[in-house]
Amino acid sequence: MSAPALQDAAASPPRAARRIDAALVALILGAVILWFAPVGMGRYGTYVLSLWLVMSIGVMGLNLTLGYAGQTSLAQAAFMGLGAYATAILTTKFGVSWYAAFGISGLLTFAVGLLLGFPALRVRTHYLAFVTLAFSTLVWLVLRNEQWLTGGTFGISNINRPEFFGIKLFGALEFHRFVVVVTLILSLALWWLIRSPWGRAFTALRENPVRAASLGIDTRAYTLLAFAIGSAYGGFAGALYAPLVEFIDPSPFALSQSFSLLLMVVAGGAGYLFGPFIGALLGVVLPEWLRFAGSLYLILFAAIVLALLVVCPQGVSGLAERGWNVLRRKSGGAR
């Protein structure tokens, strides 16, 4: 990026990077709360919390692609599937450690994101959505039909959880705390990326691609980078999902799951640092809270999400930001 472009990008930092110190403190404080949150919740409650964090990582990647680079991807569930199956195959069939499989899953999905996004982003507009739609279908068919590699509809079972400095993380509480640590590390990496010149370039692309290009920003390169990094976060989420459930089959990585992840980004607030956590909370935890409605809980969940999107099209984070700005203006006027 040229010097003028850097100056322009720095003049209008992304929303999630304005209060850097507050965001950093909130991430660390949230991790501390989540470390102790499962105490007394039981095994299933702990599992739901862990699943929320895993899905938040996947939504983080899609938020980077959509919320910051302004590109729509319908393949995030496919990237999660690639990460999950790569981890499951490497750890169960080849004896590779989970940590090595985690890194390989991230590199694999980053590389696939580059290869997938390069031709699509050369023509821009809606082509990336079409390409990722086809890719998501292809990945699901491979996972379902190539039984020699993926187990087909029978899936892969007996996926071991990792050890941490000799501590076996087989229990729900121990593995949850491990997920908390990994989520915090990936969140801090994304926080740093958003406030870096790269993150400002991503935001410039979303706000005005023509102006960003006129200022010397290589729009295709930065958009492709955002998509590839977002894909890698999907792979990281899948690498955590596999040992969390200890059994995987193709069903959680179907195209419908990609639409669910996209809904989480929009509902939580695209382009906000904490939007993925809120969106995943709505998509994972809220349905569990609505189980009291019995067979009507899915209808009730859909109605709540629809009402939310009508009331605040910028998501919960956008609504919270507007409310905060109103309170600041009122408090300033009172003085």
Helix (H, G, I), strand (E, B) or coil at 157: strand
The answer to whether the pTM exceeds 0.85 is yes
Tally the C-alpha atoms within 13 A of residue 280's C-alpha that lie toward its C-beta.
22
**Could you tell me the CA-to-CA distances from 102 to 204, 239, 267 in Å, in that order?**
32, 6, 29
- For 116-147, write each residue's pLDDT tens digit: 998 877 766 678 889 999 999 999 999 999 99
Q: In the chain, pLDDT over 70 holds for what percent of residues?
A: 92
258, 76 contact by CB (below 8 A): yes
Please give the pLDDT value at position 86: 98
Please give the pLDDT value at position 121: 77
128 vs 166: CA distance, rounded Å: 44
Tally the C-alpha atoms within 13 A of residue 86's C-alpha that lie toward its C-beta.
27
Whether 50 is covered by a domain: the verdict is yes
Q: Where are the alpha helices (DSSP H) in the chain?
A: 3-11, 20-36, 42-63, 76-93, 98-123, 127-145, 147-150, 172-195, 197-207, 209-214, 219-245, 255-268, 275-280, 286-289, 297-311, 315-334
Whether 248 is covered by a domain: the verdict is yes
Sign of the alpha-carbon torsion through 235, 14, 69, 275:
positive
CA 222 to chain centroid, in Å, comes to: 19
- In which band, very low, low, confident or very high, does the pLDDT at 334 lie, cut at 50, 70 and 90? low
Both tokens assigned to 66: 């959509």
199 pLDDT higher than 90: no
- Domain of residue 24, CATH code: 1.10.3470
Whether 161 is covered by a domain: the verdict is yes
User: Would strands 163-164 and 156-157 be described as parallel, antiparallel, or unpaired?
Assistant: unpaired
- In which band, very low, low, confident or very high, does the pLDDT at 11 lie, cut at 50, 70 and 90? very low
Cα torsion 49, 55, 56, 61 to 10°: value is: 170
Helix (H, G, I), strand (E, B) or coil at 111: helix
281 vs 287: CA distance, rounded Å: 9
15 pLDDT higher than 80: no
Please give the pLDDT value at position 125: 60
Mean residue pLDDT across the chain: 88
User: Would strands 247-248 and 167-168 be described as parallel, antiparallel, or unpaired?
Assistant: unpaired
Both tokens assigned to 326: 């109103």
Whether 234 is covered by a domain: the verdict is yes
230, 65 contact by CB (below 8 A): yes
Whether 320 is covered by a domain: the verdict is no
Whether 39 is covered by a domain: the verdict is yes
Total number of domains in the chain: 1
237, 229 contact by CB (below 8 A): no
Whether 171 is covered by a domain: the verdict is yes
- In which band, very low, low, confident or very high, does the pLDDT at 22 lie, cut at 50, 70 and 90? confident
Average pLDDT over residues 244-261: 95
259, 279 contact by CB (below 8 A): no
71 CB-near residues (< 8 Å, 6+ apart): 65, 121, 128, 223, 226, 227
Highest mean pLDDT among 99-108, 163-172, 187-196, 211-220: 99-108
Average pLDDT over residues 2-11: 43
What's the domain range around 215? 3-255
Whether 303 is covered by a domain: the verdict is no
313 pLDDT higher than 70: yes
